[in-house]
Amino acid sequence: MATASLPRRDFIKTSAMLAAGATLARPLSAASYSRVIGANSRIRIAQIGCGSRGHGAHLERGILPHRDATNFEVVAIADPWKKARESINGTITAAFGRPAKEFISYRDLLAMDGIDAVMIASPDFHHTTHLEAAARAGKHIYVEKPLATDFTQLVRAYDAATAAQAAGSIIQVGTQLRSLPGIVGARQLIRSGTLGKITRIDESRNDVKPYWYGYLKPDVKESDVDWKEFLGDRKMRPFSADQFSAWYGYYEFCQGPVPQWGAHFLDLLHYVTDCGFPLSCVCLGGTTYWNDEHRFTTPDNIVATWLYPEGFVVTSSNNFGNGAGNSRKFYGDKGTLAIDNWNAPTYSADGGPKRDGKIRGKLDVTPIDHPDHYLNWLQCMRSGETPNANIHAGFQHAVAVLMAVMSYDTGKKITYDPVKRELSSA
């Protein structure tokens, strides 16, 4: 590496860190104080997207376990599918003694009075639209990853969200790995220098079949779906039960496992290493194995590689033609961190050219207590503190994801300028 390139790389890293934002608690601004919800006030939450993610992850496994400790109620829901609204409202009624108000469109939900916070679990291609609308409405927000499928929409939604955050909105992005005690411990391990300089970070996450097959519901009735609301800004076409229920498998709705699974991995490594935005990315893949009557277009075999200004290379790969080979490693010049198990990372001196004898055998990473991701969001609405995965962290993973998407689409290397906020092909 030429010495002349160092100031530029240092500048990029510094700019990226400023853009990514610190995740530590900061003194509250006057705006933040004005949006803090009092300890005795009930938080009124609305859910946009009532499918398996919104119903199962957000409601049943996410916020409901914290109901007694945090005093909230789900007061409104929105989803284009009647059956999803009915199903989630059954759970809401059982939990709170009354159903939430039902809407087909997020627009009508956001126009309702008496909503403090919004949780967004809509299909990927709606995330930026719903995030921007909720931010402009001044709500506290929990939004799923990947944050975007289009870069222009990402920047617009990010700007709206940062303005809302400055005005006191608590915005948590659904990259929940950074809330796991073992991952917080891994961050501390990396920061301690125990593993030395990180030179490479790799993830291989595979399965015997693409996950979108598990969402197929051939019995979905067109009469129960607002098809136009589901399509949003996508081209109108005849109703398809496959496209509606298994939208993960269609590229125009979901860009595949790098944005889906890779977003978690990218956010994890950004958090653990405190790195800046990637400098460049190349991505290759395709629908190479699962070609059948469903005509899925999401890639089932793909690999993306990023170069970061800190000098390490990152690779994320997914193969849905063979489930073997799952691995997640951080390679340092004094040792290796393995996060093959999210909840129980380990480390050793394996492979380190500068290993110094301080690591003996295979060791467990010491976990550090941390609030659950959903609980953290609920607590921050009371305290006004910055949540674990704020909007700046979401923007950083979204940029890395869209670099891979753009490379896959064009077949070219993609670079990112964090100062101009521009993607370009090299």
Residues 6+ positions from 85 with CB-CB distance below 8 Å: 50, 77, 79, 102
Distance from C-alpha of 307 to C-alpha of 12, rounded to nearest angstrom: 13
Question: What does the DSSP assignment read for 39-83?
Answer: TTSPEEEEEE--SHIIIIIIIIIIIGGGHHHH-EEEEEEE-SBHH
Strands 346-348 and 336-338, by their bridges, are antiparallel
Place of tokens 């109620």: 73
394: left (phi over 0), alpha (psi -120 to 50) or beta: alpha
The helix (run of H) or strand (run of E) holding residue 330 is strand 327-332
List the pLDDT tens digit at each of the 426 positions of the chain: 222 333 333 333 434 443 443 333 344 444 544 568 877 799 999 999 999 999 999 999 999 999 999 999 999 999 999 999 999 999 999 999 999 999 999 999 999 999 999 999 999 999 999 999 999 999 999 999 999 999 999 999 999 999 999 999 999 999 999 999 999 999 999 999 999 999 999 999 999 999 999 999 999 999 999 999 999 999 999 999 999 999 999 999 999 999 999 999 999 999 999 999 999 999 999 999 999 999 999 999 999 999 999 999 999 999 999 999 999 999 999 999 999 999 899 999 999 999 999 999 999 999 999 999 999 999 999 999 999 999 999 999 999 999 999 999 999 999 999 999 999 997
Looking at residue 11, its pLDDT comes to: 36
Residues 6+ positions from 3 with CB-CB distance below 8 Å: none
Distance from C-alpha of 230 to C-alpha of 208, rounded to nearest angstrom: 29
Strands 43-48 and 117-120, by their bridges, are parallel
Q: Where are the alpha helices (DSSP H) in 274-357?
A: none
Place of tokens 């670099």: 403
Across the strands, what pairs with 319? 301
Looking at residue 21, its pLDDT comes to: 39
Strands 346-348 and 422-425, by their bridges, are unpaired
C-alpha to C-alpha distances, 359 to 141, 195, 272, 326, nearest whole angstrom:
42, 9, 19, 25
Domains of the chain, earliest start first: 21-177+374-391 (3.40.50.720), 179-370+402-425 (3.30.360.10)
Across the strands, what pairs with 422? 417
The helix (run of H) or strand (run of E) holding residue 89 is helix 82-96
